[in-house]
Amino acid sequence: MTNDLQSLAKQFINTDLFLKADPYGEGHINDTYAVTFQKSDGTVYRTLMQRINHTVFADPAALMSNIHGVTEFLKNKICVAHGDAIRESMTIIPTQGGSLFYQDEKGEYWRMYIFIENATTYQSCRNEQDFYNCGFAFGKFQRLLSDYPIAELTESIPDFHNTVKRFAALQEAIRQNKAGRVSLVQPEIDFALKREKDAGEIIDLLNKGMMPYRVTHNDTKLNNIMIDDTTGEAICVIDLDTVMQGAACYDFGDSIRFGASTAAEDETDLGKVSLDLHLFGVFTKGYLKVAKEFLTETELYSLAIGAKIMTFECGIRFLTDYLNGDTYFKIHREHHNLDRCHTQFKLVVDMEQKMQQMQDIVHRYCTK
């Protein structure tokens, strides 16, 4: 495999000496390698090479066009602000022929980036500052791209956060009952059906022009933020595969769903599951530090609601997959998807009860 990786790496860089390629990171979608080269003067450096999963991303050319457009736009903004564009944005290394990706003889798609050194991604928050940094980084990301020509973006995963269509998929799963599980989860089905109107709340605001479409990241977890090893500050948003048009509250809401919950996504003891209002405030403070200057009043109002909707959407996706026989999400035990569904629905209920407090926190950091 090393020889194959060396050959692939040379499609991007053939002027420097290839030293090695090591598996890198904890991603589950693409295969990632840290590739080490040596220049003629003895300088050793790394790049990041990835095999794009074109089962998940059916149009790698459009995907890479999205990433190229966004990163170049970011670099221009960063340079104007006298920042370090190489450390503060991902940088695509083109092939020797000038392409954004390489397709090998097996039909696999590969890409390469400059490696951002002296910075780390973390799978979970070490402290509150990490969660603040997460909010700040994604708020800044949206702010820098607030005037990006979004019509140029392709949907890398169509209808990814279209909660109405996610709800329709649940209804179809109930109708088909492929795994014969409908009778086992009637309370969960009733919970979801009771909230059908909620599924359209954000989509309706977008479709009616009451809220603008923004460039959204759509995978706003801490592990997609590079934290500077020296300063401890967030310096770069990475993993731009799901960058698409969407609502600002999609990114805000998904971060809250994952990061401000008091329990793991698959916790079986629902007594442990709730929304931590303090952590909600920590993230909101970081996010609005930079995002409040461009978000509309309706968008600001939608943030807390978006947290509930993203949680509800995730819950119905887990329930849909459970009804379909666990064909999409990887499971590690029996009824794993159902356990995940339970945590999300419990979190929805807690958010419903705390919605006014959430809105008050958003308002507080809008005015500071």
Q: What is the CA radius of gyration of the chain?
A: 21
Of 259, 234, 291, the C-alpha closest to 89 is: 234
349 three-state secondary structure: helix
Contacts of 74 (CB under 8 A, 6+ apart): 85, 88, 89, 144, 145
Q: Is the dihedral of CA 276, 282, 283, 288 positive or negative?
A: positive
Of 28, 25, 41, 42, the C-alpha closest to 113 is: 25
User: H helices of the chain, where?
Assistant: 2-10, 60-80, 85-88, 128-144, 163-176, 186-194, 196-199, 201-207, 248-259, 277-291, 297-323, 336-366
Walk me through the domains of the chain, giving residue ranges and CATH numbers: 2-117 (3.30.200.20), 128-366 (3.90.1200.10)
pTM of the full structure: 0.92
d(CA 12, CA 46): 13
∠ Cα 167 145 208 (to 5°): 40
**Phi, psi dihedrals of residue 133, rounded to the nearest 5°:** -60, -40
d(CA 280, CA 74): 27
117 three-state secondary structure: coil
**Phi, psi dihedrals of residue 56, rounded to the nearest 5°:** -75, -45
Residue 1 has pLDDT above 60, yes or no: no
∠ Cα 14 20 25 (to 5°): 110
What is the secondary structure of 325-339 as a DSSP string? TS-SS--SSTTHHHH
d(CA 149, CA 65): 13
CA distance readout (Å), 360 to 8, 129, 259, 301, 364:
53, 22, 19, 10, 6
User: What pLDDT score was predicted for residue 328?
Assistant: 85
Encode pLDDT of 184-200 as tens digits: 999 999 999 999 999 99
- Give the pLDDT band of residue 2 (cuts 50, 70, 90): low
Encode pLDDT of 27-40 as tens digits: 667 889 999 999 99
d(CA 311, CA 201): 13
- Give the pLDDT band of residue 25 (cuts 50, 70, 90): confident
CA distance readout (Å), 140 to 105, 152, 184, 229:
40, 21, 44, 20
User: What pLDDT score was predicted for residue 368?
Assistant: 75
Q: What is the mean pLDDT of residues 22-28?
A: 80
| Cβ-based burial of 14 (10 A; exposed 0-12, middle 13-18, buried ≥19) | exposed
Choose the weakest-confidence range: 184-188, 221-225, 251-255, 349-353. Answer: 221-225
- Give the pLDDT band of residue 127 (cuts 50, 70, 90): confident
Helix, strand, coil shares of the chain as percentages rounded to 5? 50, 15, 35
Q: What end-to-end distance do the CA atoms of the chain give, in Å?
A: 55
**Phi, psi dihedrals of residue 62, rounded to the nearest 5°:** -65, -40
Choose the weakest-confidence range: 28-32, 155-159, 301-305. Answer: 28-32
Encode pLDDT of 73-124 as tens digits: 999 999 999 999 999 999 999 999 999 999 999 999 999 999 999 999 988 7
- Which residue in this structure is represented by tokens 């083109």? 94
Choose the weakest-confidence range: 38-47, 59-68, 152-161, 195-204. Answer: 152-161
Hey, which residues does 119 pair with through a beta bridge? 228
User: What pLDDT score was predicted for residue 27?
Assistant: 67
